[in-house]
Structure 1
Amino acid sequence: MPQAMGTKIMIGANSVADLTSIGGLEPSADTIETTTLDSVNGWRTFAQGLKDGGEVSLSGFLNAGDTNGQVALYNAFNSGALTPFTILFPFGASWTFNGIVTGVNTGAEIENNVSFESTIKVSGQPTLGLTPSGGLTALSLTGTGGALTPAFNVNNNLYAFSGVTATSVTLTATAANHTINLFVDGVLTQTLASGQASAPIPITAVGSKKLTIMAQEPNKAPKLYEIALIKTA
């Protein structure tokens, strides 16, 4: 049976940290009565009415430093903006939908961690992806002093490119028949051609950036790769 451990919910290109439960989706439909005097044997008859994607509930522990995840949910709640979300299951299935954040709350009890909860109202039709994209077949970065660890493996999603001393790096990702999008600190910056180097990714100050590569075949669940880009000098 598929295991839930490793499931993520993405707000844009960023995962929400420190969750223990992701509830939903709950698609449902209203009914319209179509019973007439001619209905067989006096049985009521119905047709499907309007559909509703339901709500997604999130719960876990408060992480105030999760600016692109938990804090982004709170900001989306304040703005009321329609926001793209993706629930990624570790075995390759996914739900993709637009939603409005309708609630954010925290709780504090003695001897327990500070809790975090949020609710998202699904707007429009959610898309269920059951077949995973194949993902990248090769991944490399070029920048003075940098080294990718661990070595690329299609089944590994987390990497570091550390020891960078250059002011920019380039990234090359290979995946046939995929759309390959590159996000830098959660912002979409480039759509990459398979096997061709990206435009330079600046990293001028000592510190780190998060690179997210979203690789997706048509009508399949996307596959994500995250790289911590670390400049040391």
Structure 2
Amino acid sequence: MAGKDGFGTLLKRGDGAGPEVFTSIANATNLSGPNLSRDTLDVTAHDSPNRHREFVGGLINPGEVSIDINYDPDIHDTLAEDLEDEEPRNYQLVFPAPITATWNFSAVMTGFQRTAPFDNKLTATLTFQVSGKPTIT
């Protein structure tokens, strides 16, 4: 069978304590990332074969993670304080059974965008810049 059901995927936020406790960000509707990408370095020289450019791999950008939520100010407004944090916080992206993968990463919150349409539910999108290499357990 191709494809897996994403229902039940969680983004958990670490509390920074030891041992660290991770709590799910409530009311998630969509999750994306980490969106990994890699730079390339142009190493073309006058003697490159067949007049073709040559490249080697450069630095890897761990990308961003974003989460869309059904926004509840009573639950979510405390997360806005993370925008004040200069140091990355630990997070976990936990996939539902039967998938057993958990992505562990550090990130800095870079956005908290709330939306209040006149004809629909309150929503928000939280965006995080991943710092360093994520690990998969």
TM-score range normalised by the length of the shorter chain: 0.7 to 0.9
* Distance in 1 of aligned mates of 2:79 and 2:50: 53
* Distance in 1 of aligned mates of 2:102 and 2:51: 43
* Offset, 1:58: 1.1
Relative to total residues, which structure has the larger helix share, 1 or 2?
2
Match of 2:60 among 39, 46, 51: 51
> Which gives a bigger RCO, structure 1 or 2 (Cα 8 Å, sep 6+)?
2
State yes or no: 1:23 paired with 2:32.
Answer: yes
Question: Which one has the largest radius of gyration?
Answer: 1
SS of equivalent to 2:81: helix
**TM-score, normalization by structure 2:** 0.85
Q: Is the 8 A contact 1:95 1:126 kept in 2?
A: yes
* Offset, 1:111: 2.4
The share of aligned pairs that are identical, in percent, is 30
* Offset, 1:44: 0.5
For these two proteins, the number of residue pairs brought into alignment is 126
Q: Is the 8 A contact 2:111 2:128 kept in 1?
A: yes
SS of equivalent to 1:80: coil
- Structure 1 unpaired stretches of 5+: 130-220, 222-233
Match of 2:5 among 3, 6, 24: 3
Q: Is the 8 A contact 2:115 2:124 kept in 1?
A: yes
Alignment of 1:121-200 (within 5 A): 121-127=129-135, 129=136
Q: Is the 8 A contact 2:11 2:94 kept in 1?
A: yes
RMSD: 1.3
Q: Give the aligned partner of residue 19 of structure 2.
A: none
Alignment of 1:45-124 (within 5 A): 45-66=54-75, 70-90=76-96, 91-124=99-132
- Structure 2 unpaired stretches of 5+: 15-21
